[in-house]
Amino acid sequence: MNGFSTLFYKELLRFWKVAFQTVLAPVVSAMLYLMIFSHVLQGRVQVFPGVSYTDFLIPGLVMMSALQNAFANSSSSLIQSKITGNIIFVLLSPLSYFELFSAYMAAAMVRGLVVGLGVLAVTVWFVDLHILHPLWLVIYTLLCTGIFAALGIIAGVWAEKFDQIAAFQNFIIMPLTFLSGVFYSIHSLPPFWLIASHLNPVFYMTDGFRYGFFGQADVNPGTSFLVVAGCFVAISGFTLLMLKRGYKLRY
């Protein structure tokens, strides 16, 4: 596993050397979301019994930040390596496709977790937040960040220029995360959008993560876990298949 550990360490250094941009900036953005939305809607909206709107908002912001940054890490690393040409040094090394996948995914998950913990550490100053199911949160967060890390690998392998990564981020990742119930309960939506929200897999990630804090959710947490676990297996398998065949990397 020397090859895996070397690539993993390289990927960690890549985002940690510019932590001001890769970690601090998204934490500040999440804090601004919290300040604005909690100021406008606190006292006017109560989603779960005994849970204030600010309490409700924080887990959604943590999950959204973790997912977006997990995707950003693996996708930006691969597209930069492809454009600058140094991807050849990774491909020439005696690394299996599984080691490549594991190293890129693990580093992206670490960035997502670091950002998520940073958002949580900053925002808990605003509320007295309690975690009812800590083990659920750990397992669930690992699965969710792993899904978006794998999506980042897919986007990085598929894209041939930065514009395509930006399009993937702006037209797929951001709509899925912003419309996943981060700022609202889906039960407040009209019937059409309520049905549409159930088709969004990121909704189950956000709702299940919120269940770990409050023990309350918009849908059954078992359903959320099955959706998330199924997405993790399917997307990881597809990513491994791409890397094994060398799609847009070896040909």
Q: What is the pLDDT of residues 20-39, one digit of tens each?
A: 999 999 999 999 998 888 77
Does residue 250 lie within any of the structural domains?
no
Say if residue 126's pLDDT is above 80: no
**Rounded Cα gap, residues 150 and 238, in angstroms:** 9
The pLDDT value given to residue 167: 94
pLDDT band of 53, cuts 50, 70, 90: confident
Does residue 85 lie within any of the structural domains?
yes
How many domains is the chain partitioned into structurally?
Answer: 1
Does residue 132 lie within any of the structural domains?
yes
Does residue 251 lie within any of the structural domains?
no
Range(s) of the domain holding residue 110: 2-245
Say if residue 194's pLDDT is above 70: yes
**Rounded Cα gap, residues 73 and 110, in angstroms:** 10
pTM for this model (two decimals): 0.93
H/E element holding 176?
helix 174-178
Does residue 188 lie within any of the structural domains?
yes
Average pLDDT over residues 107-122: 96
